[in-house]
Amino acid sequence: MSSLYDTGTDKSLLRALNRQKERIKYDEQMADRETTIKNELAINKKADWAENLESASTNRRLKEEERLREEEANHSGKALIEIRRAALRTLLKQEYAQYETELHQQGKAFYFKRE
């Protein structure tokens, strides 16, 4: 009887070992699949990051260009004011010289208070 018992035990032991090997094989397949999915997710994240980086870079460049345009317009406005002031100074000097010669011809002069 012990030989029958051993044979039955051997068969059930072999079945158990086969089931264990199948579970191990299945677990390894699942681990490989999980690793593949994790790698693909990481690659997708990097691709999304690169796409967002490009659009963010474009937005940053556009904002910088707009800031430079505003700054240039501001500086050109200031330069225009300086040009107008210089032209006005020149005009005032010319008019002053003209009035001074007219007054001098009449025997008159500008009044300057001495300090």
End-to-end Cα spacing for the chain: 141
Q: What is the rounded average pLDDT for all residues in the chain?
A: 89
What does pTM read for this prediction? 0.44
3-state SS class at 114 = coil
- Whole-number pLDDT of residue 4: 47
Half-sphere exposure of 108 (CA within 13 A, CB side): 7
Report residue 19's pLDDT band, with 50, 70 and 90 as the boundaries: very high
User: What pLDDT, on the 0 to 100 scale, is given for residue 94?
Assistant: 96
The pair of structure tokens assigned to 108 is: 């008159």
Q: What pLDDT score was predicted for residue 96?
A: 93
Contacting residues for 109 by C-beta, under 8 A, at least 6 apart:
100, 103
CA dist., res. 52 & res. 50, Å (int): 5
At 47-98, the pLDDT tens digits run: 999 888 888 889 999 999 999 999 999 999 999 999 999 999 999 999 999 9
